[in-house]
Amino acid sequence: MSLVQRNRIKRALISLGTIAVVYGVAAEVGRYVLPHRIWMDVHYIDNVELLPTYRSLAEEMAFLLQSWILPDSILVSTGRILAGFVLGAATGIAVGLATGRAARLEYLADPWMMLLRFTPALALLPLYVIWFGYGEASKILLIATSVAVVVMLGAHHAVRGVPQVYLDAARALGASPRLIFRKVVLPAAFPQIFASLRVALGLAWVTIVVAELIDAKMPSLGYLLALSGAYPRVPQMLIGLGTIAALVFLSDMLALSLHAKVTRWMRRTG
């Protein structure tokens, strides 16, 4: 581990530790100061903890773990993310590479891309329910769509952005279009494609929360969040949020370390 990395971890620990302490104090004070009864539009709700203490968070966590609600939710939601992500990424890369490479295809695809860029995939939710019904298919396809749009644009522009000098040099050396695509276009475009995959992975986690409101069923992280809002149970809400944040962070870390491994050739700053 380099000194820079060690310093970064140290900084993260200090800053997170500080926040944790401040929160703990605020929650303890809040237990006496904050109202336990809130007005929710049409009625009062009692026994609300606006700022849950560590003790109630721990109790809630114990409950969610012992009942297997949280582990099962993580498994189910992560599985959907994986399926949707793989499907969407594969489609997006294939289409993006094709439109980026073939001028004639781009002529057709360009207006579509504009349209897609400005259409939030989440807005397709009601349509997908009608097309694919309640159930796994519409959830996974919604994630796949939001991933595919981002990755397709990324791959398209990555291929377009391959510097002409590399293509010229390869042609001058007698390389066939196939060889140029495999050994020049793909590796040159790879960093940008990967960057779009990373963005898409984050987006997939956003999408899952919404997608799991279709045919809302336990176990799933999206529904866990929705339920915690309906009770409302703030400790459960915070744990749900924290879990999703941790999973997004984890998947991003995974993506980053993979990225570093496969682009050792790139110049790095810092």
Partner 1 sequence: MSSDSPRLRLEAENVGYTYPGEPPTRALEGLTLSVADNEFVALLGPVGCGKTTLLRIFAGFLTPSQGSVRCDGASVDGPSWQRGYVLQESSIFPWMSVRENLEFGLVAKGMEPEARRARSDELLHLLGLSSFEAAYPKQLSSGMSKMVEVARVLATDPSMLLLDEPFGALDAQTRARMQDELAGLWEQRRKTVVFVTHDVEEALYLADRIVVLTARPGHVKQQFKVTLPRPRSLETRFAPEFAALKRQVWEVI
Please tell me whether residue 3 binds partner 1 under the rule CB under 8 A.
Answer: no
104 versus 178: smaller Cβ distance to partner 1: 178
| Window contacting partner 1 (CB under 8 A); options: 53-61, 83-91, 99-107, 186-194 | 186-194
Taking the complex as a whole, the smallest distance from the CB of residue 191 to partner 1 amounts, in Å, to 9
Please tell me whether residue 50 binds partner 1 under the rule CB under 8 A.
Answer: no
| Window contacting partner 1 (CB under 8 A); options: 96-104, 124-132, 151-159, 179-187 | 179-187
Taking the complex as a whole, the smallest distance from the CB of residue 160 to partner 1 amounts, in Å, to 18
Please tell me whether residue 269 binds partner 1 under the rule CB under 8 A.
Answer: no
Q: Per DSSP, what are the bridge partners of residue 23? A: none
101 versus 139: smaller Cβ distance to partner 1: 101
Q: Tell which residue, 56, 32, 41, has the closest CA to residue 237.
A: 56
Please tell me whether residue 172 binds partner 1 under the rule CB under 8 A.
Answer: yes
DSSP secondary structure string, 175-214? --HHHHIIIIIHHHHHHHHHHHHHHHHHHHHHHHHHHTTT
Q: Which of 61, 83, 129, 188 binds partner 1 (CB under 8 A)?
A: 188
Please tell me whether residue 245 binds partner 1 under the rule CB under 8 A.
Answer: no
Please tell me whether residue 177 binds partner 1 under the rule CB under 8 A.
Answer: no
Taking the complex as a whole, the smallest distance from the CB of residue 182 to partner 1 amounts, in Å, to 10
| Window contacting partner 1 (CB under 8 A); options: 23-31, 50-58, 173-181, 233-241 | 173-181
Please tell me whether residue 190 binds partner 1 under the rule CB under 8 A.
Answer: yes
Please tell me whether residue 270 binds partner 1 under the rule CB under 8 A.
Answer: no
DSSP secondary structure string, 243-268? HHHHHHHHHHHHHHHHHHHHTTTS--
Q: Which of 78, 90, 116, 187 binds partner 1 (CB under 8 A)?
A: 187
Please tell me whether residue 166 binds partner 1 under the rule CB under 8 A.
Answer: yes
Q: Which of 119, 171, 177, 258 binds partner 1 (CB under 8 A)?
A: 171
Taking the complex as a whole, the smallest distance from the CB of residue 100 to partner 1 amounts, in Å, to 18
Please tell me whether residue 168 binds partner 1 under the rule CB under 8 A.
Answer: yes
Please tell me whether residue 258 binds partner 1 under the rule CB under 8 A.
Answer: no
Q: Tell which residue, 213, 207, 214, has the closest CA to residue 244.
A: 207
Residues lying near partner 1 in the complex (CB under 8 A) are found at 165-166, 168-176, 179, 183-184, 187-188, 190, 263-267
